[in-house]
Amino acid sequence: MMSMEGVTTALVGFIFVCMIWKHLIQNKAQFYAGFAAVLVILLVGCVRQMVGYESTGLLKVLGFIALLAQFAGFVLLVMATGGMSLRQLGGEFGNAIEVIRRGETAKEVIIPLSSQKGAPRRRDDEEEDGGRTVYTIETAPPPPARGASGTNAAAGPAKKDDGAIPLE
């Protein structure tokens, strides 16, 4: 009798669900690798049944192979439906472990040692936008005087702008 046959049953059931609703599969190569792992589980179960209970050493090896195939099949089917690579899945587990360890999702603020240079302190006249000082100009400067060519006061005397388009 194999241990953890319920896991194999769940994997086979999930494969049938994915065959019915094909949109659940994001990565077909991983799905087929998971399917192959389930086939290995079933093949090892058949060999264990044929050998019988006389050879306990071989039964332990076959049981170990079946458990490894269950683990691989489960991970591969999860990755196939999530569309993730093994590196992305490991990163997600690493982030989850870090959040569980800290107890929150925000990174903790680390205070530097006295020998290390820390971030400069904010002065009272600085605003919150990147440590820059923001000055407000209360009066607008007068508009520059326009010359005859319409460019600059240095070009000539200023004309009164009556809104008409010059014909020059």
Confidence at residue 159, expressed as pLDDT on a 0 to 100 scale: 58
Band of pLDDT at residue 98, cut at 50, 70 and 90: confident
For the segment 140-156, the average pLDDT, to the nearest whole number, is: 61
Cβ pair 72, 37 in contact under 8 A: yes
Confidence at residue 37, expressed as pLDDT on a 0 to 100 scale: 92
Domain boundaries, the chain: 5-102
Cβ pair 145, 153 in contact under 8 A: yes
β partners of residue 164 = none
| Pairwise pLDDT comparison (7 vs 55), residue with the higher score | 7
Min mean pLDDT across 3-7, 91-95, 163-167 is at 163-167
Residue 150 pLDDT > 60:
no
Give the other-Cβ count within 10 Å of 44's Cβ.
Answer: 21
For the segment 79-91, the average pLDDT, to the nearest whole number, is: 84
Average pLDDT score, the chain:
76
**If DSSP codes are grouped into helix, strand and coil, which group holds residue 8?**
helix
For the segment 3-10, the average pLDDT, to the nearest whole number, is: 81
| Pairwise pLDDT comparison (7 vs 135), residue with the higher score | 7
Give the other-Cβ count within 10 Å of 69's Cβ.
Answer: 23
Confidence at residue 38, expressed as pLDDT on a 0 to 100 scale: 92
pLDDT tens readout for residues 104-134: 656 666 666 666 665 555 555 554 555 667 6
| Pairwise pLDDT comparison (62 vs 101), residue with the higher score | 62
